Amino acid sequence: MVEEEGFRRYVAHAILWIGIAIVAFPVYIAIVASTQDNALIANGQMSLLPGGHFFEVYYQTIFVGTSGSTREPVGNMMLNSLVMALLIAVGKIAISIISAYAIVYFRFPFRMPIFWIIFITLMLPVEVRIYPTYKIVADLHMLDSYAGLALPLIASATATLLFRQFFMTVPDELLEASRIDGAGPLRFFWDTLLPLSRTNMAALFVILFILGWNQYLWPLLITTRDDMQTIQVGIRKMITTTDALTEWPVVMATAVLAMLPPVFVVVAMQRLFVRGLVETEK
Amino acid sequence: MANVTLRNVRKTYPGGFEAIKGVNVDVADGQFCVLVGPSGCGKSTLLRMVAGLETVSGGEIDIGGRVVNQVEPADRDIAMVFQNYALYPHMSVFNNMAYGLRNRGMKEAEVKTRVDEAARVLELTPMLERKPRQLSGGQRQRVAMGRAIVRQPKVFLFDEPLSNLDAKLRIAMRVEIRKLQRRLSTTSIYVTHDQLEAMTLADILVVMNGGQVEQFGNPLAIYEKPATTFVASFIGAPPMNLMSMRADEIKSQIGNSGDAGILGIRPEDFVITDQTPAGGVALPLTVEAIERVGAETFIYGSRKQDEQRIAANPGELPPGEVIVRIPGSEAPPIGQKIRVAAVRAKLHLFSDDGRTRIEA
């Protein structure tokens, strides 16, 4: 770092502070708005300082929901989102680590074609294959269910590729040493490969959890019942009200609540996450 | 305890490449066998075939009277030490050593006894709870050895175990491996490309080249009577001087030399002298370079007269160049003409193609 002097340094710091403010201000507004009285916000007289309705707004949001558009408590929406995000993250990791293990360590007919088929699915995200996927899920009677929410998003090429790349960097001698030590394929996978993949799994978990948590289009399509709604869909529904005033404090409180789990996951797994991205220890 | 017998063992890769072209080796119970050769000679492949990590294309591998061609590595009752140690990075030293025992369903108390004993022998006791990454190269090496000895296998297999260590440690570990093997008297097969390691460790030495055994037997016997020019130049450092005998000057000096076409003389068998020993060889040389290593000095001299090529071998000198080893650090100055001689008993004669040794 070059040490900047006096004035130039203040300018640089000012620019950085402006950057931070631009990113942080909307979040601040959401937090402030969630503690105000709705009438004030609707009048356009919202204060930039926190109001006094924190507890009642959050109580209402979590346990009751809005009085108009959706009558679903946000607590339940969060539970739905959480279950979906966890299913997607855990399911994806489980499926892809197993398929990567098969592709890297076993010689079976059509190994490479199968690998390429998995690879090609990279080009087909949910949005592209949404019709056939919807049809399949509907035919399997999985609409309005956790399985229907999570399953189509679980099969994933990205995670398989990541584990494949990682497995290929694991020295062959480890496998050979395991064979001599009397560990079969399952033992090797369980005792050696899984522990070595720990940081990779953590990094993927963070990414996939947030990906799952932020799903909007797919849950919107396949959930019709209020009690299966996810929080991302719920927020949207709260804003568009036909004949009543939008309950902004509740909407904002919901937004704040929607931010919390991803933040929590990132903070909790930060150390493993960073190590997973830069890890070289083998 | 077991002997290991390889009968006409072959390895052909799917592409058609023949890595091992029929190898016969017999290692008696408790012997230390060293496979040595240049890279690509198939020595590691052969070891991995004994371990069961490579399939056998032909012939038989026999461990302790049982043909193990189709037996899984874990069931061959062998233990292997890898070049990069292949320790499980996420397991403690203790668990690294205990893993193979636990997989065999051994009782935890017995596992602990064995690992503790191995750790004591290898001086690893204070490090049992550490992870491999917290250990130095030499310590990792010892853990790898420990993992092998706790199993109390019939055969130890070593795949260039010392090549990742620095020179000093390598010598120390070499001695340790030898002592350990003597004490346990477990049959061992050891792969290396370092001829010094090979000479010092081996009960029987197997010199390999191009997927075949060039010569095997007692290391000193091989040093004294190399069977081919390849072995002659590979075993011993600096390598044996090989000279074409078509140059009449040499041929006439030796007299009765049969069909020999190549003459070999080890650098240490030369003396600087004006006399010509009866039946021996004397060569006039111009000193080109001097290497002083303290206890001994290497003189690189050129002969000029003889420019004829001899079959190219690893470590071979350019035609016409001769290495002479003399004790001490006194050496003639560069450019000086000297005369070196070797007695008859120290001459090695080979056929023209270098494939046969001729005793005359």
CATH 1.10.3720.10 in chain A, residues? 74-278
Judge: A180–B90 Cβ closer than 8 Å, yes or no: no
- Residues 142-171, chain A, touching B (beta carbon < 8 A): 171
Integer CA distances (angstroms), B270 to B221, B292, B346, in order? 20, 17, 9
What is the distance in angstroms between the Cα of A205 and the nearest Cα belonging to chain B?
20
The domain spans of chain B are 4-224, 238-358
Closest-approach residue (CA) in chain A for B82: A173
Contact check, Cβ <8 Å, B72/A183: no
| pTM of full prediction above 0.95 | no
Least confident of A50-54, A81-85, B217-221: A50-54
Among B80, B88, B133, beta carbon nearest to A174: B88
Digits of tens for pLDDT over chain B (360 positions)? 689 999 999 999 988 899 999 999 999 999 999 999 998 899 999 999 999 999 999 999 999 999 999 999 999 999 999 998 899 999 999 999 999 999 999 999 999 999 999 999 888 999 999 999 999 988 999 999 999 999 999 999 999 999 888 888 888 889 989 998 999 999 999 999 988 899 999 999 999 999 999 999 999 999 999 999 999 989 988 889 888 876 556 776 776 667 778 888 999 999 888 888 877 888 888 888 899 988 899 999 887 654 444 444 444 556 678 899 999 888 888 888 888 888 888 889 888 888 889 886
**pLDDT score, position A225:** 86
Count of beta carbons in the 10 Å neighbourhood of residue A274: 14
Could you give the percent of chain A with pLDDT greater than 70?
A: 94
The DSSP line for chain A is -----HHHHHHHHHHHHHHHHHHHHHHHHHHHHTTS-HHHHHTT---SS--S-HHHHHHHHHHT--SSS----HHHHHHHHHHHHHHHHHHHHHHHHHHHHHHHH---TTHHHHHHHHHHGGG--TTTTHHHHHHHHHHTT-TTSHHHHHHHHH--HHHHHHHHHHHHHS-HHHHHHHHHTT--HHHIIIIIIHHHTHHHHHHHHHHHHHHHHT--HHHHHH--SGGG--HHHHHHHHH--SSS---HHHHHHHHHHHHHHHHHHHHHHHHHHHHHHH----
Q: Measured between CB atoms, does A196 come within 8 Å of chain B?
A: yes
Q: What is the ipTM of this complex?
A: 0.82
> Which of B50, B90, B114 to probe the A interface (max A CBs under 10 A)?
B90
Q: For B79, which of A171, A180, A183 is closest by C-beta distance?
A: A180
Q: Architecture of domain B238-358 in CATH? A: Beta Barrel (2.40)
Q: With an 8 Å Cβ cutoff, are B100 and A182 in contact?
A: yes
A195 touches chain B (CB under 8 A): yes
Q: Supply the pLDDT for residue A282.
A: 44
Give the H or E element holding residue B121: helix B108-121
The backbone torsions φ and ψ at residue B22, rounded to the nearest 5 degrees and listed phi first, read 85, 90
B4-224 belongs to CATH 1.10.3720.10 = no
Across the A/B interface, how many CB contacts are shorter than 8 Å?
Answer: 59
d(CA B153, CA B181): 12
- The CATH classification number of A74-278 equals 1.10.3720.10
Chain A partners within 8 Å of B84 (Cβ): 171, 173
